[in-house]
A = this chain, B = another copy of it.
Amino acid sequence: MDDHQRCPRFEKAMEILSKRWTALIIFQLLPGPQRFARIENSLQNLSGKVLSDRLKELELEGIVKRDVYPETPVRIEYRLTDKGKALAPLFDSISNWSGEWIQLSQ
């Protein structure tokens, strides 16, 4: 039995996804583009500051795209890129696992 090979890609992925709130934000965006306030309201205990930080990080990683619609008032929407949408199977995996193994009695 050997160690798992150190895989930098895998570790990078974990580094991105394992930041607090990041995965939940992506999950929330899966159904489609959403505005800042909506994401904020959908995630209990997530402050505007942290959401702002995370969205910026995700934009840098190319997982989220920020669309500005110059209406009045201006409308800004966040949506997943293809790279972001490609994470859907991962969330299915987590969903399946949590459905089978997580008890809420605690």
Contact = CB atoms under 8 A, between A and B. Distances in A.
Q: How large is the interface on A (under 10, 10 to 19, 20 to 34, 35 or more residues)?
A: 35 or more
B89 A93 contact: yes
A104 B42 CA distance: 33
A73 interface: no
Identical copies of this chain, number: 2
Interface of A is mostly: helix
A86 B42 CA distance: 29
Contact of A93 (B32, B42, B93): B93
B3 A27 contact: no
Nearest to A33: B1
Given A83-B101, A86-B100, A38 B94 contact: no
